[in-house]
Amino acid sequence: MIDRLFLATLTLSVLMVGSLTIASAVFNGALHAPVPVVQLEPVVITAKRLAPSEVAAADRVEPAMERAQ
């Protein structure tokens, strides 16, 4: 019985500490601090597209339900 009481007390304590931590961060303005943003250059990909593999071609011709039977 003492283990159930200990577990309940421990769970309640963890929830209270988490709530207090979040509340103190909100009231101190830590959550509203400006965040630096980095803008990267756009990337252009120039590559040839590969032909579909035999497995992908077989999937289009033969539905999966027919293979399962």
In this prediction, residue 41 carries a pLDDT of 94
User: Has residue 67 been placed in a domain?
Assistant: no
* The model scores a pTM over 0.85: no
User: Has residue 31 been placed in a domain?
Assistant: yes
Contact 31, 25 (CB under 8 A): yes
User: Has residue 19 been placed in a domain?
Assistant: yes
- What is the residue range of 29's domain? 2-62
pLDDT tens-digit map of 17-34? 999 998 887 777 655 667
Residues 3 and 33: their CA atoms lie apart, in Å, by 42
User: Has residue 18 been placed in a domain?
Assistant: yes
Residues 15 and 34: their CA atoms lie apart, in Å, by 28
Domain count, the chain: 1
User: Has residue 54 been placed in a domain?
Assistant: yes
User: Has residue 33 been placed in a domain?
Assistant: yes
The DSSP 8-state label assigned to residue 3 in this structure reads H
User: Has residue 22 been placed in a domain?
Assistant: yes
